[in-house]
Amino acid sequence: MKYLAPTVALLFILISGQTALAAGNPSRGLEKSQACQACHGKNGNEAVDQNTPILAGQHAGYLEYALKAYRSGDRQNALMNGFAGDLSDQDIADLAAWYSRQEGLVTPVIGNK
């Protein structure tokens, strides 16, 4: 009983720490990808042309990095600056979770996928 309060406190810290990380939700990512599908396809494999990248199977961390760079304007592309401009960090995490889990690019597993 003596350890109950510290244990509860520790659990609380652990749980709140978890929710602070914007974990991506793939099914919400699919819902949010309606506008993306016209060019990248439903699962990120059906790129409309050779200038449109395959997103399926790409590392989630890279997809987030790329989308944040389009959003901030660090990476310039007339189409993608527009599509990423209104995305929140949570939208980006969800979209990255969706596309990274699809069969497509074969990438070596480095860190979190």
107: nearest Cα among 39, 59, 55 = 59
Q: What value, to the nearest 5°, has the Cα angle with vertex 94 and ends 34 and 91?
A: 75
Query: In the set 30, 56, 60, 63, which binds ligand HEC (CB under 6 A)?
Result: 63
Residue 56 engages ligand HEC in binding (rule: CB under 6 A): no
Q: Give the shortest CB-15-to-ligand HEC separation in angstroms.
A: 29
Query: In the set 40, 59, 71, 101, which binds ligand HEC (CB under 6 A)?
Result: 40
Contact 70, 84 (CB under 8 A): yes
Nearer to ligand HEC, 36 or 97 (CB): 36
Residue 30 engages ligand HEC in binding (rule: CB under 6 A): no
In whole angstroms, give the CA distance from residue 28 to residue 91. 8
CA 73 vs. chain centroid, Å, equals: 18
Residues that bind ligand HEC (CB under 6 A): 33, 35-36, 38-40, 51-53, 55, 63, 66-67, 77, 79-80, 83, 95
